[in-house]
Amino acid sequence: MVPKKISVGLLGYGKAGKAVANILSADPRFDLRWIARRSANDESDVHPGTNVPIVGIERTPFPALFGRAPIDALVDFSSRESIHAYGDEARKRGIMLVSAISAYSESDLEYARSLGQHTRVLCSPNITLGINFLIVAAKLLRKIAPFADVEILEQHFREKSEVSGTARKIAETLDVEGERITSLRLGGIVGHHEVIFGFPHQTVRLTHESIRREAFGTGAAFALSQLAACGMGFYTFDDLLLRIMRAELSGG
Ligand SMILES: NC(=O)c1ccc[n+]([C@@H]2O[C@H](COP(=O)([O-])OP(=O)(O)OC[C@H]3O[C@@H](n4cnc5c(N)ncnc54)[C@H](OP(=O)(O)O)[C@@H]3O)[C@@H](O)[C@H]2O)c1
């Protein structure tokens, strides 16, 4: 039997949202029904190369949008306020939520967790599959070899002034001091993160390179497909990866 496509709405059509739309609209597992942003230029706008309409939330609020074009799942690449505008309606309709918003406050997260009592919710401030895998692998190696020296190297484009939030998250996860992070700023590097484990007689390097923003879409697609197989609840990206690893290790 052909599995039913997951019908998806995408919220946010900025730098990240446009790349995510490219991935979700081309993935046969999903039916991308609409894209919503704050205000659409023209109500007849579609995502290039597709028939996916782009609607403005100012003109078509969430209850009307969900009623007119029902969805199984909402992917959020907009801003931290949006969840408070669609949350109750999504909860009522049991819409699965994949939120990539990086800047949620503790109270926003509290609200997202409360939605998880009624539907499936994933919040991930970093949604690329590769970085999440790197963090899990680094955590595991740190546990296995707590005696190894650990250094974190991050490289980004010349204009990025602050230390990468992902590098700080890796340091925090591995319980190493922030001074162990080295930042290089060169040309147009999109994003390079490397965790170096120095053993007495060997060196292990875990490296992730960002190539294009479409990687956010690949991560959102992974999250949607995994979340669809989970029960109601609130999940992190780690939870989804660990589900697969546990099944793999137990031969399931
Ligand atoms: N987790 C990750 O790995 C990851 C990766 C990339 C981005 N993000 C997050 O994704 C979000 C967007 O990033 P971006 O770089 O794409 O930003 P951006 O270029 O500024 O785009 C934001 C988009 O969201 C829409 N939007 C904002 N507030 C809205 C609201 N209240 N209701 C409806 N639409 C709203 C905007 O609508 P208009 O176009 O009408 O203004 C715009 O299309 C940020 O929160 C960022 O942290 C997360």
- pLDDT tens for 133-158 read 999 999 999 999 999 999 999 999 99
Cα 93 to Cα 177: distance, rounded to the nearest angstrom: 44
Q: From 19, 36, 30, select the one nearest 85 (Cα to Cα).
A: 36
Q: Are 36 and 91 in a shared domain?
A: yes
Q: Is 156 a catalytic residue?
A: yes
Q: Are 60 and 23 in a shared domain?
A: yes
Q: Are 157 and 191 in a shared domain?
A: yes
What is the pairing mode between strands 73-76 and 6-11? parallel
Q: Is 53 in the pocket of ligand 1 (CB under 6 A)?
A: no
CA of 144 from ligand 1 middle (Å) equals 38
Q: Are 98 and 181 in a shared domain?
A: no
Measured from the CA of 57, which atom of ligand 1 is nearest? 33
Q: Are 180 and 244 in a shared domain?
A: no
Between the CA of residue 216 and those of 38, 41, 83, 99, 104, what are the distances in Å?
20, 25, 19, 11, 18
Q: Are 67 and 111 in a shared domain?
A: yes
Q: Are 103 and 88 in a shared domain?
A: yes
Give me the half-sphere count of Cα atoms (radius 13 Å) on the Cβ side of residue 152.
26
Instruction: Catalytic residue, from 18, 156, 193, 208: name it.
Output: 156
Q: Are 206 and 220 in a shared domain?
A: no
Give me the pLDDT at residue 145, please.
97
Q: Are 105 and 37 in a shared domain?
A: yes
Mutate to test the pocket of ligand 1, among 102, 104, 124, 131 (most ligand atoms within 8 A of CB): 102
Q: What residues make up the domain containing 12?
A: 6-127+214-249
Q: Are 44 and 155 in a shared domain?
A: no
Q: Which amino acid is at 189?
A: I
Q: What tens-digit pLDDT sequence spans the chain (252 residues)?
A: 667 899 999 999 999 999 999 999 999 999 999 999 998 877 789 999 999 999 999 999 999 999 999 999 999 999 999 999 999 999 999 999 999 998 899 999 999 999 999 999 999 989 999 999 999 999 999 999 999 999 999 999 999 999 998 999 999 999 999 999 999 999 999 999 999 999 999 999 999 999 999 999 999 999 999 999 999 999 999 999 999 999 998 876
Instruction: Classify residue 167: in a domain, yes or no.
Output: yes
- Tallying the residues shown for the chain, one arrives at 252
Give me the pLDDT at residue 41, please.
75
CATH number, domain with residue 173: 3.30.360.10
CA of 68 from ligand 1 middle (Å) equals 23
DSSP 26-49: H-TTEEEEEEEESS-S-TT-B-TT
Instruction: Classify residue 1: in a domain, yes or no.
Output: no
3-state SS class at 127: coil
Q: Is 17 in the pocket of ligand 1 (CB under 6 A)?
A: yes
Specify whether the CB–CB gap between 235 and 121 falls below 8 A.
Answer: yes
**Sheet-wide strand order for 149-156:** 181-185, 149-156, 191-198, 203-210
Give me the pLDDT at residue 40, please.
80
Q: Which two tokens stand for residue 109?
A: 């997260």
Q: Is 82 in the pocket of ligand 1 (CB under 6 A)?
A: yes
- For residue 197, the cross-strand partners are 150, 204
CATH number, domain with residue 218: 3.40.50.720
How many domains does one find in the chain? 2
Give me the pLDDT at residue 24, please.
98
Give me the pLDDT at residue 251, please.
79
Q: Is 78 in the pocket of ligand 1 (CB under 6 A)?
A: yes
Q: Are 48 and 161 in a shared domain?
A: no
Q: From 210, 225, 241, 240, select the one nearest 140 (Cα to Cα).
A: 241
Q: Are 167 and 80 in a shared domain?
A: no
